[in-house]
Structure 1
Amino acid sequence: MPKISEKGHKMPSSPIRKLVPYAEQAVKDGKKVYYLNIGQPDIKTPQVALDAIKNTTLDILAYSRSEGSENYRKKIAKYYSKNDISVKHDDIIVTTGGSEALLFAFGSIMDKGDEIIIPEPFYANYNGFSTASGVNVVPVISKIEDNFALPSIEDFEKLITSKTKAILICNPGNPTGYLYSKEEIKKLATIVKKHDLFLIADEVYREFVYDGINHYSILQENGLENHAIVIDSVSKRYSMCGARIGYLVSKNKELIQTALKYAQARLSPPTLAQIASEAALDTPNSYFTEVINEYVGRRDTLISELKKINGVKVAKPNGAFYCIAELPVKNSDKFAQWLLEQFSFENETVMVAPAAGFYSSPNVGLNQIRIAYVLKEESLIKAVKIIGEALKVYKD
């Protein structure tokens, strides 16, 4: 029998999706499942985007330019301008989701065996993208006790070697919801300029920041023009996960020209989804005001309910729509599977994402889960109640 590649064997399974068969079986068994495992917002997609698809008059669904349509990229540049970020349309490459933007960035700046430093816990697919690119993740651990704040400069610098090519952050963070401050971004800017590294910021949750705190993009930091790479997406901002439209943004011309070669190799991003995404840029600010208010209410309810459970520790997020909770269990993978396979409370159960998959360090985060607060407040209250009842009877 032909052999699967070593790289294929090393590709990690998604900690978010691997429990899906157990959830499906729970539903077949007649249980109601509260899905807190995946960042699929229940917020309605802006009508202007849906109407753009319905009203299209295209006769041929043709390729777009490999870097995305010029009109769309110009509108993206205007969007950034409204957010005090100065970029031109030719600093932008439209991609098939933020995932492809990350793959283009990795392929453009790193060779096999190179290293990228990432504060952990981090978005689980960073592990997969690194494996696919032959790149080694070097983790620097942020702690729940510190609300997952940026580790110290010294923690970063002692990890930098001749193979280090970049530092990657998610801001606000998935899975922590942590929002890096302007001061923390400036610390990172100092490191990457000192060691001549790239700084990649996954900013797909930029619109979702709370408590009167402003988001500070790495593209706003002077002196990072040749270092800064931003990953962005319409998925969460406009509740358009299925559109699969993202973009890579950088003022580094050589980086953009290199990434364009990867874009040309896959021909073009999806044309119809670009039409919807371009229209979504006309979404009124009131949409985001309502969405942010909704998420703040959900966050506050979730944190309040979790703190009622004996032995649970939770970090308070200032952005995105995730939080990490530490449970009084030894292995949250087993607990999450048990919830779906063997437990129900009033014929209802919960699906969560075990947090160990958001770390690359072995045996870290084993007793943590990520919760996506993408359900209505009443559903979050019920879901946390189920977790509390489960912990009363669960034995490791």
Structure 2
Amino acid sequence: MKNLDLATTDFFNSIAPSCIRKSSIVFSDRLKRTNESVSAINVAIGNISLPTHPAMLRRLLSVEDENLKKGVWRYTQTEGIDSVNQTFKNIIKSFLKPGLEPELFTMVDTGASHIMKLVMLGACGKFKGVNRPLMMLDPVYTNYISIGQELGREIVAIDRELNADGVFSDIETDTIEKIIEEKNPSAFLIIPYDNPSGTLMTQETINKFAKICIKHNIFFVSDEAYRGLYYRDDIKFAPSIWNISEDEVPGINAAKIRISIESFSKLFNACGLRMGALVTDNQLFFEQARAANTTYLCPSCIDQYIASAIAFEDQKEIQGWVMSLRSYYKRILSELYSNLKLLMPDLIVTQPEAAIYSMVDVRNVVKPGFDANDFVMYCASKGSVEINGINYTLLVAPAAGFYKNNNPYANTQMRIACVLNDKEMKLVPELFVRLLKEYEGKRN
């Protein structure tokens, strides 16, 4: 076949790189093409640069498992070895309110993105021939949109607006109820420590949503990759679907509707380990998820072994570890906000209450027709700013990739991931403002 469009499917021909990855691909191609001496400060993707948990590092450097030492690296059971499943249970239990003991069925897989796909295969789609969508809040982590497209799963998104004060609008219960009645979703997905908005969903809000899911008999799915990373002093226990009590939400235990998506990437600074988990109180959902995943055999036995180190950590130690991360990110996010507003006061910048991301909206400082994706591609392919004798560019994520619906301000918004070391993060505000002014100066 001579032409690529004849060699690949319609899906392959239509697909584009993720909004969190595209700029790094373009920048890499730029260096290969030009051999420029320019460094990219990459805050487009949440790729943590902090060192991982010491117990996991010790396991990597001093392997004690006899089979791994001998080089006998066989498949494990599809749901993962017992100790790595116990690890995820240990993490969840470390953040439970006293007296709560939810029934937890767990299975691990190669990163939370694979778990997202598995959950979407089982929690939305055709039910006895009737197609039922997945409901979520807009904007949402871009992978959910991409995976939905890949699987042919419909997504119904509830609009949120980024207001001029840098705060996203709340969602009214009546709005959710109306959409459920109109669209008949089979599951409601939340991200309590929200990516990309940085919004914190309180336990009271989670409980309110749980009651709606029980009322309409739909799955309640929670992406808890950032559990414990919140920055409000009035929060005593980490908001979670597993912190819903029977007293607060009668029938929650019997409903068997809870599913959480877990990850090692952010809480244990292990993005490259590729270890995630599906956790549910529904035994049948667990069994069928495991059955579906037998096609893919099992996750890496080496990654499972390393992650299993946390199974033996004291729960107070886990809490302390996450508390140290919380203090670190709270400072980094605050400094980013202050320095961006100092350099360009009319920017709309979020002040995140959770997770590790900040959203920036340039609607007040740019000329009409601004397209954040075009600006990001400019930075990746051409942009260069000199600071202290070194040429830099900045890679951020255009926010349009996080919106399922057509938001009027999506094209002026970008997401910044606070994942680099202190020295590099301090460069971000100056690079952003100078590159934005440079780009706007060249745009008609």
What does 1:27-176 align with in structure 2 at a 5 Å threshold?
Answer: 28-56=35-63, 57-58=66-67, 59=70, 60-84=72-96, 86-88=101-103, 91-112=105-126, 113-145=131-163, 147-160=167-180, 161=182, 163-176=184-197
SS in 2 for 1:45: coil
Alignment pair present for 1:320 and 2:355: yes
1:275 pairs with one of 300, 305, 309: 305
State how far apart, in whole Å, the 2-side matches of 1:220 and 1:288 are.
17
- What SS does the corresponding residue of 2:22 show, helix, strand or coil? coil
Q: Counterparts in 2 of 1:146-225, with a 5 A limit?
A: 147-160=167-180, 161=182, 163-212=184-233, 213=235, 214-221=237-244, 222=246, 223-225=251-253
* Secondary structure, counterpart of 2:427 in structure 1: helix
Partner residue in 2 for 1:332: 372
- How far is 1:216 from its partner? 1.4
Q: Which residue identity does 1:224 align to in structure 2?
A: I
Q: Which amino acid in 2 is paired with 1:98?
A: A
Q: What's the counterpart of residue 360 of structure 1?
A: 404
Match of 2:431 in 1: 386
Q: CA offsets, 1:131-188, max 9 Å, x none? A: 1221111111112227235411122222224641111111201111211011211221
Which whole-Å deviations, capped at 9, do the CAs of 1:188-233 have from their partners, x for residues lacking one? 1122112111111100000322232342111222333411110001
2:50–2:421 Cα contact (<8 Å) kept: no
Q: Percent identity?
A: 26
State the secondary structure of the residue aligned to 2:137.
Answer: strand
What CA distance in whole angstroms lies between the structure 1 residues aligned with 2:44 and 2:426? 16
Measured in 2, the distance between the counterparts of 1:7 and 1:165 equals: 25
The aligned residue for residue 264 of structure 1 is 294
Task: Indicate whether 1:244 and 2:256 are aligned.
Answer: no
Deviation at 1:78, TM superposition (A): 2.9
CA gap 1:4/1:25 in 2 versus in 1, 3 angstroms: closer
CA distance in structure 2 between the aligned counterparts of 1:77 and 1:363, rounded to whole angstroms:
38
Instruction: Report the secondary structure of 1:93's partner residue.
Output: strand
**TM-score, L = length of structure 1:** 0.93
The partner residue of 1:233 within 233, 249, 263 is: 263
Q: Secondary structure at the match of 1:210?
A: coil
Name which of structure 1's ranges 204-213 and 3-12 shifts more when overlaid on structure 2: 3-12
1:119–1:150 CA contact under 8 A, matched in 2:
no
Distance (whole Å) between structure 2 residues aligned to residue 45 and residue 149 of structure 1: 35
Q: CA deviation at 1:245?
A: 0.9
Whether the 8 Å CA contact 1:181–1:216 is kept in 2: the answer is yes
Query: Are 1:36 and 1:374, in contact at CA under 8 Å, matched by a contact in 2?
Result: yes
Kindly tell me: are residues 334 and 75 of structure 1, through their superposed partners in 2, closer, same or farther at Cα, counting changes over 3 Å?
Answer: closer
Question: Which segment drifts farther, 78-87 or 212-221?
Answer: 78-87
The aligned amino acid for 1:277 is A
Contact 2:260–2:278 (8 Å) recurs in 1: yes
SS in 2 for 1:264: helix
Normalising to structure 2: TM-score of the pair? 0.83
What amino acid sits opposite 1:171 in the alignment? P
CA contact (8 A) 2:195 2:355 kept: yes
The residue type paired with residue 349 of structure 1 is: T
Q: Which amino acid aligns with 1:152?
A: E
CA-CA distance at 1:322 after TM superposition: 0.5
State the SS of the aligned residue for 2:48: coil
Kept in 2, the 8 Å contact 1:349–1:383? The answer is no
Structure 2 partner of 1:23: 27
Q: Does 1:294 align with 2:328?
A: yes
Give the C-alpha shift of residue 274 in structure 1.
0.6
Q: Kindly state the Cα deviation for residue 53 of structure 1 after the two structures are TM-superposed.
A: 2.5
Task: Say if 1:12 and 1:340 are closer, same or farther in 2 by CA, change over 3 A.
Answer: closer
Deviation at 1:14, TM superposition (A): 0.2
Q: Note the C-alpha offset of 1:350.
A: 0.7
Residue 305 of structure 1, CA deviation:
1.1
Q: Residue 307 of structure 1: SS of its match in structure 2?
A: helix
CA gap of 1:13–1:109, structure 2 versus 1, over 3 A, is: same
**Equivalent residue letter for 2:324:** E
Matching residue's letter, 1:280:
I
User: Is the contact made by 2:376 and 2:398 (CA closer than 8 Å) also made in structure 1?
Assistant: yes
- Work out the CA distance in 2 between the residues paired with 1:303 and 1:52: 38
2: CA distance between counterparts of 1:77 and 1:342? Answer: 47
Q: Distance in 1 between matches of 2:380 and 2:153?
A: 35
8 A Cα contact 1:149 1:180, kept in partner: no
Q: CA-atom RMSD, angstroms? A: 2.1
Query: Aligned equivalents of 1:369 and 1:144: distance in 2?
Result: 12
**Displacement, 1:26?**
5.4
Residue aligned with 2:207, SS: helix
SS at match of 1:343: coil
| Unpaired segments ≥5 residues, structure 1 | none
Q: For the structure 1 residues 88 and 66, does the alpha-carbon distance in structure 2 shift closer, same or farther, using more than 3 Å as the test?
A: farther
Q: Which amino acid aligns with 1:207?
A: G
Whose Rg is larger? 2
